[in-house]
Structure formats: structure tokens, C-alpha cells
Amino acid sequence: MNPLLFPVVIAAALILLVAVRYGLRRRRHQEMQRLLDSADALEARLRAARRQIEAVTGESDADPVHEAMREMLRQRLWLREQGAQARVAELHSVRLSIDQARERIERQLERVEEAQMLEV
């Protein structure tokens, strides 16, 4: 190898390393933002669901949303404690579980609305 090329190869390797690290950080940041957005959307939907159910049942004691809210709190605590070290795949997995929970809530609320319509 030509001795004059050695610094060029080292510089190219360093540039590549920096680019890869930047890309990973960027992906991680994007996934973290998606995760936080999903968590916020689920929390807002759970609060709305609680209000809808209370409006239908007239009860504030019976809270079928309670367990979902507790799970949301557990996920937010995990994110605060582990989020900085979590791999992109872990963040993605947590986000998917949050999105699935929101979909389950939506299906349950559709059933509530259908039941309301049948009562009318």
C-alpha cells in the first residue's frame, strides 16, 4: 500500500464511523420521538375513554381504563429509566405495544358505542 494513501484511508474510515454513529443516533432519536408521540396519543385516548364510559354509566367509581393507565405509567417509567440506554429495536417494540393497546381501546370503545345505539 502506498504510504501516502494511509492517512486518506484512516480519514475515510473515521468519516464513515462518524456517519454511521450519527445515523444510529438519528434513528434512535426518531424512534424515541415516535414512542413518545404514541404514548401521548394513548394517554389522551385513555382519558377520553374514561370520560365516555363515565358518561354512559354515570359512574366514576367503576374505571375499566385504570389498568391501561397503570400500564402506560409503567411504560413511561421504563422509558425514563431505560430509554437512554435502550436499543432502537427495544424502543420500536415498546412503541408497537403502545399502538396495539390504543387499538384495543378503540375496539372496546366501538363496542360501547354500539351498545349505546342498541339501547336507544
Q: What is the pLDDT of residues 31-81, one digit of tens each?
A: 888 888 988 888 888 888 888 777 776 665 556 677 778 878 888 888 888
pLDDT at 19 over 80: yes
pLDDT value at position 99?
Answer: 86
pLDDT band at residue 13 under the 50/70/90 scheme: confident
Q: What is the pLDDT of residues 82-98, one digit of tens each?
A: 888 888 898 888 888 88
Q: Rounded distance, CA 69 to CA 75, Å?
A: 10
pLDDT value at position 83?
Answer: 84
- Match 454513529 to its residue by C-alpha cell: 21
Q: Rounded distance, CA 71 to CA 57, Å?
A: 23
* Mean local confidence (pLDDT), 103-107: 83
Contact 31, 91 (CB under 8 A): yes
